[in-house]
Amino acid sequence: MLYSSTFARKGVKVLVYKGKWSGFRMRYHNFRVTPAAVYHNGKKYTFKRHSVFFKTSRALRIHNSSYTGSFICYIKGSYIKIINYINFEHYVGGVLRGEIASSWPMEAIKAQAVCARTYAYSLYLKAPSARYHLVSSEKHQVFKGTYKLNSRYKNAVYATRGIIMMYDRKPIKAFFHACCGGNTANSRNVWESTASPPYLKMVRCPYCKNYKKFRWQESYSFKEINHRLRKFLKNRRHIKGLKIGAYTGGRRVKFMWIYTERSKFRLSGNKFRLAMGAHRIASLKFRMKFVKGRVKFYGKGFGHGVGLCQWGAKTLADKGFDYRFILKYYFKNINFIKL
Ligand SMILES: [Zn+2]
């Protein structure tokens, strides 16, 4: 059977550091690396197939995050990769710390816990025996370690333990974002994939309006746009102009026309957003205007817009809806199972 009821107690491997080991210092931790072994606080660990496994009673502190559990190190030349090997449910708690404030209503935190668990489990299933299943950054989901976790996070994990979202007998792609700006996005329109799964379709969301960045504005000089697009596209062609090409049903920019000296080409809205800086062009729900030699953008929402809208979930939780209702609102036709 694919889903064992004991799975939730098992471990998951998360890459928490990747970089140069020389000059690498962690609080309470001292690493010394030789071609044959790694010395951690004076204790020798020999390589077993080029990796070192160690446990520590103290939290491993890296870049303002404190990790507990066991660790596996891989060292190649002057680079080190540190993988945190932890209980699956503890991992979910560490993601809550990175992705949602502990002061938020409990049902919103629980909804986030189910998203985090579902997402992590689907990545785990892709390659169960991989060296690591997830990375601790925004590439997957922000994981800030499990050391001294707030009790509200722990309660949310415990209350939903093992629960994940399924569609067609598979874990769903449980995407989430800060604020949808009024309606969520069809995943196909954001990432140009062939089809949106039925549970990642646009839903109306009148619940995220009180987010302070619900509306945003940003402006760029033409010089900066040129610089950013040329860098992103790895292209030397001078960019003469740009125009919104088309909108999707939910008023998100589908693609841009980019004009060069000789021709024009299309660039997907999402790629344009990445080129301009995803924190500045906060979402694809924007209009554009030329004002006094600058290009101004006026938009709504924050993030890619696919899946759960966190600020919407907060409002629904404040209104008294439970986490199952909230998740079913943003992910249509899903069901829940317990691992
Ligand atoms: Zn919303």
Instruction: Kindly report, residue by residue over 47-66, the tens digit of the pLDDT.
Output: 665 666 777 767 777 777 88
204 Cα–ligand 1 center, Å: 8
Residue 300: pLDDT band by 50, 70, 90 thresholds?
A: very high
315 Cα–ligand 1 center, Å: 9
210 Cα–ligand 1 center, Å: 10
pLDDT on residue 194: 64
The answer to pTM > 0.75 is yes
149 Cα–ligand 1 center, Å: 28
313 Cα–ligand 1 center, Å: 8
302 Cα–ligand 1 center, Å: 9
Mean pLDDT across the chain, nearest whole number? 87
Answer whether residue 232 shows pLDDT above 70.
yes
76 Cα–ligand 1 center, Å: 44
Q: How far is CA 273 from CA 81, 163, 225, 254, in A?
A: 31, 34, 11, 11
Q: Please tell me the distance from the alpha carbon of residue 301 to that of residue 206, in angstroms, as a whole number.
A: 12
318 Cα–ligand 1 center, Å: 14
What average pLDDT does range 230-234 have in this prediction?
A: 88
What average pLDDT does range 213-219 have in this prediction?
A: 95
Each domain of the chain, given as residue ranges in start order, spans 7-87, 89-196+304-338, 215-300
325 Cα–ligand 1 center, Å: 15
Q: How far is CA 79 from CA 24, 74, 151, 298, in A?
A: 10, 8, 36, 43
Long-range CB pairs of 238-243 (<8 Å, 24+ gap) are 242/288, 242/295, 243/288
Identify whether the C-beta of residue 286 lies closer than 8 Å to the C-beta of residue 68.
no
Tokens in use for 201?
Answer: 């379709």
Among 38, 27, 40, smallest CA distance to 66 is for 27
What average pLDDT does range 298-309 have in this prediction?
A: 95
Q: Within 10 A of 109 (CB to CB), how many other CB atoms are there? A: 27
Annotate the chain with three-state secondary structure. CCCCCCHHHCEEEEEEEEEECCCCCECCECEEECCCEEEECCEEEECECCEEEEECCCCEEECCEEECCEEEEEEECCEEEEEEEEEHHHHHHHHHHHHCCCCCCHHHHHHHHHHHHHHHHHHHHHCCCCCCCEECCCCCCCCCCCCCCCHHHHHHHHHCCCEEEEECCEECCCCEECECCCECECHHHHHCCCCCCCCCCCCECCCCCCCCCCEEEEEEEHHHHHHHHHHHHCCCCCEEEEEEEEECCCCCEEEEEEEECCCEEEEEHHHHHHHHCCCCCCCCCEEEEEECCEEEEEEECECCCECEEHHHHHHHHHCCCCHHHHHHHHCCCCEEEEC
pLDDT on residue 21: 66
180 Cα–ligand 1 center, Å: 4
Identify whether the C-beta of residue 15 lies closer than 8 Å to the C-beta of residue 81.
yes
pLDDT on residue 257: 96
Answer whether residue 332 shows pLDDT above 50.
yes
Q: Which residues of 151-169 are buried (b: 16+ CB within 10 A; e: fewer)?
A: ebbeebbeebbbbbbebee
pLDDT on residue 2: 41
pLDDT on residue 5: 47
208 Cα–ligand 1 center, Å: 4
pLDDT on residue 28: 58
pLDDT tens by residue, 258-292: 998 888 999 999 999 999 999 999 999 999 999 98
pLDDT tens by residue, 103-153: 999 999 999 999 999 999 988 988 888 889 999 888 888 888 888 889 999
Q: Residue 317: what residue type?
A: A
What average pLDDT does range 95-101 have in this prediction?
A: 91
Tokens in use for 56?
Answer: 């520590």
Identify whether the C-beta of residue 9 lies closer than 8 Å to the C-beta of residue 88.
yes
206 Cα–ligand 1 center, Å: 6
Among 60, 58, 84, smallest CA distance to 71 is for 84
113 Cα–ligand 1 center, Å: 18
pLDDT tens by residue, 164-210: 999 999 999 999 999 999 999 988 877 776 677 889 999 999 999 99
Residues with CB under 5 A from ligand 1 (ion): 180, 205, 208, 309, 312
pLDDT on residue 4: 45
17 Cα–ligand 1 center, Å: 33
pLDDT on residue 130: 86
What average pLDDT does range 91-100 have in this prediction?
A: 91
pLDDT on residue 314: 97
220 Cα–ligand 1 center, Å: 27
119 Cα–ligand 1 center, Å: 20
User: Is 176 exposed, middle or buried (CB count within 10 Å of its CB: 0-12, 13-18, 19+)?
Assistant: buried
Instruction: Please report, in angstroms and rounded to a whole number, the separation of the first and last CA atoms in the chain.
Output: 11
Answer whether residue 3 shows pLDDT above 50.
no
35 Cα–ligand 1 center, Å: 53
